[in-house]
Amino acid sequence: MPTHSQHSRWFIAFLLFTAILCGALIMVVEVLGSRVIGPFFGVSLFIWTSLIAVTMISLALGYAVGGWLSDRYGEAHNLYAIILLAGLAVLWIPILKAPVLQFCVPLGLRLGSFVSTTLLFGPSLFLLGFVSPYLVRIAARELNSLGRTVGSFYAISTLGSVAGTALTGFVLIAWMGVDRIFQVVGLLLVLLGAGYLLATRHYRGLWPLLLLPLLLWMQPRQELPRVTMANGTQAELVASVDSHYGSVKVVDYSFGAKRVRELLIDGLVQGGVDASNGESVYEYPYFLQLLPWAMNPKMETALVIGMGAGVIPRWFDQQGVVTDVVDIDPVIYRMAREYFGATPRGEWYVEDARYFLTQSPKQYDLVVMDVFTGDTTPAHLLSVEALGLIEKRLGERGMLAINLAGELHRDTYMSASVIKTLRQVFEQVEIYPTFSPGPELSFGNLAVIAYQGPPRPLDKERLNRFSVHPMAREGVQANLGRRFEFPSGTPAIVLTDDYNPIDFFDSETREGVREIIINSTPWEILIYSG
C-alpha cells in the first residue's frame, strides 16, 4: 500500500499536469477564435479586443464561481466533471459557429464580434476558469506548503498558456483545420475529465456523455462547397488553407461561358482574374500598373509589396520590368503560383515588408504597395517612418504606387491622414480614384502615386496601348487619369509609429467592406474551415 506522502506526491503531479494542459488549451481556444470570426468581422484591433476581453471576463467569472463552488463541493471528482463539461462545450463550437455568426453579423463590427465571441467561446472558457481555484483547494488538503504549491500551479499554468499559444500559432493552424483543432482540444479535455472519473469510479451517468464526442469526432470531413447563387452563378471553393496569417481560399465563379477566379484572405477579395487568360476583372490593378508606366517610360525594376493573386507582378514582368515581390505568407505565393499562374522573374521574399525595407540594399524604379484590404490596414507600413524607408529604396526617378481603400466625402479622417503622411516624405502625392466619387458613392479603391521632383505628365498614348478586361473596361476608361484632391482644411493628422489610430477611426469604412463581402460571397464558402 502506498503511504499518504506517496499518494500526495503522485496526486499533486497529476494536478500539475491538469494545470499545464488546461492553461495551454485556454490559449488554443483564444487564438483560434480569430480564425472562426475573422472571415465575418476581420482580424482588426476590434476583433482582438473582443477575444481578449471575452477571455478575461469568462476566466474571471470562472475564478469567482469556481472559488465559491470549491469551498462547498471541493472534491476532485467535481473538478474533473467540470473539465469534461468544458470539453463538451469546445466540441460544440464547430457546430454552433454557423448559426451564431448568422445571428451576430447584422449587429455590426464591434457588437457583433463581441457577442459572437461570447456565445461561442465564453462557456468553455468560463468552465476552464474553475480549474485554478479548484486545484488550489484540493492541493491545500494534500500539502502543508500551500504558498509554494499555489505558486507552482500558477507558474505551470502560465507555461502551459505560453506553450498553447506557440503551438497554435506556429504549428497547429498550418497543419490542421480549425474545426479539427477544436475537436482535438475538446477531446483532450473530455479524456482528462472522464479518465479521472473512471479511474476513481465516479462514473454514474457518464457513458452517454462520452458518446457525444465520439460521434462528433467521427463526422465526415466537409466537402468543398459548390453553391448556386440567386442570379444563377455557380460558386465553387477550389482550395482552402489556414496559414499562419489568415484563412486563404480560392473561389471559382462561372456563368455561362464566363469563369472568374478569386483569391480570398479572411473573407476579403485579394484579386480576381478571368480564368481563361489571367486578366484582372477588377479596376484597381490597372491603375497601379498603367499610371506609373505612363509616368516613367524608362522603368526597369519594380518591387511589389503584397503578392495577392500575382496579377500586378505578372503584368510588369510581361513589360520587361524585373519585378521582386515581398509577402509575409508563403501560402500566398503557393496559391498565386498554383491557381493564378504567377511566375515573376524577380526574387520572391517571404518576410515582413517593414523588415525587408530595413534590411535590403536594393533600389527600384517603382514600389507598389498592395496590402490594403479596407479591413485591416497594416499600420506599421503606413507611418511616416515606414514611408521614409520606402523612399530610400527608390531610384532617382522612382515612384511609389499604393492601393488604398478609402473614403473621399463622408468619413475622410483616415484617408486624408494617409495623404498628409505621404506628403511629409514625397513632394508629389496624387490621388486617382478607381470609381467616380460622389454623394452616393464616396468609398472605394484609390490608387495613390507619390514621387519626388516636379509633377509628371501622363503619357496618354502609353495608357491607351494596353487592353483592359471587359468586366473592368468601363470603370478604367471612365476614371483612369482623373485626379482627386481633398478640400483645403480637411481634418487630418500625420501617422507615426507612436500614434497611428487607423484601426479605430477607420471602423465605419471597414464595416461597409465587410457588409459588401458577406452579401456577395456565398455563406457556405465563408464559413467553410475543413
DSSP letters along 243-255, please?
-SS-EEEEEEEEE
Answer yes or no: pTM beyond 0.85. no
Q: What per-residue confidence (pLDDT) applies to 454?
A: 95
The end-to-end CA distance of the chain, in Å, is 50
Residues ≥6 apart with Cβ < 8 Å to 431: 419, 446, 447, 448, 483, 484, 485, 486
Looking at the structure, tell me whether residues 330 and 460 fall in a common domain. yes
Which one of 169, 185, 217 terminates a domain?
217
What's the DSSP call for residue 370? Answer: -
Looking at the structure, tell me whether residues 329 and 410 fall in a common domain. yes
Residue 290: inside a domain, yes or no? yes
CATH code for position 383: 3.40.50.150
Say if CB 238 and CB 339 are below 8 A apart: yes
- In 25-125, the DSSP E strands lie at none
Q: For residue 424, what is the enclosing H or E element?
A: none
Residue 224: inside a domain, yes or no? no
Looking at the structure, tell me whether residues 392 and 483 fall in a common domain. yes
The upper half-sphere exposure of residue 57, i.e. CA atoms within 13 Å in the direction of its Cβ, equals 14
Residue 240: inside a domain, yes or no? no
* Euclidean distance between CA atoms 383 and 495, whole angstroms: 5
Looking at the structure, tell me whether residues 294 and 210 fall in a common domain. no
Looking at the structure, tell me whether residues 364 and 439 fall in a common domain. yes
CATH code for position 95: 1.20.1250
Looking at the structure, tell me whether residues 332 and 413 fall in a common domain. yes
Total of domains in the chain = 2
| Residue 393 structural domain | 280-497
Looking at the structure, tell me whether residues 186 and 299 fall in a common domain. no
Residue 518: inside a domain, yes or no? no
Residue 300: inside a domain, yes or no? yes
The upper half-sphere exposure of residue 300, i.e. CA atoms within 13 Å in the direction of its Cβ, equals 5
Q: Which residue matches cell numbers 494534500?
A: 142
Sign of CA dihedral 228, 268, 509, 419: negative
Q: What per-residue confidence (pLDDT) applies to 213?
A: 59
Looking at the structure, tell me whether residues 54 and 145 fall in a common domain. yes
Say if CB 260 and CB 253 are below 8 A apart: yes
What's the DSSP call for residue 412? Answer: -
Looking at the structure, tell me whether residues 388 and 475 fall in a common domain. yes
Low pLDDT (below 50) residues in the chain: 1-6
Looking at the structure, tell me whether residues 286 and 212 fall in a common domain. no
Looking at the structure, tell me whether residues 369 and 483 fall in a common domain. yes
* Euclidean distance between CA atoms 336 and 351, whole angstroms: 16
Residue 202: inside a domain, yes or no? yes
* Euclidean distance between CA atoms 502 and 505, whole angstroms: 5
Q: What per-residue confidence (pLDDT) applies to 183?
A: 85
* Euclidean distance between CA atoms 519 and 530, whole angstroms: 22
Q: What per-residue confidence (pLDDT) applies to 289?
A: 95
Cell of residue 104, nine digits: 451576430
Residue 268: inside a domain, yes or no? no
Cell of residue 439, nine digits: 454623394
What's the DSSP call for residue 121? Answer: H
Looking at the structure, tell me whether residues 54 and 161 fall in a common domain. yes
Which one of 191, 217, 243 terminates a domain?
217
- Over the stretch 274-310, which tens digit does the pLDDT of each residue have? 998 999 999 999 999 999 999 998 899 999 999 999 9
Which one of 166, 186, 217 terminates a domain?
217
Residue 504: inside a domain, yes or no? no
Q: Which residue matches cell numbers 518576410?
A: 351
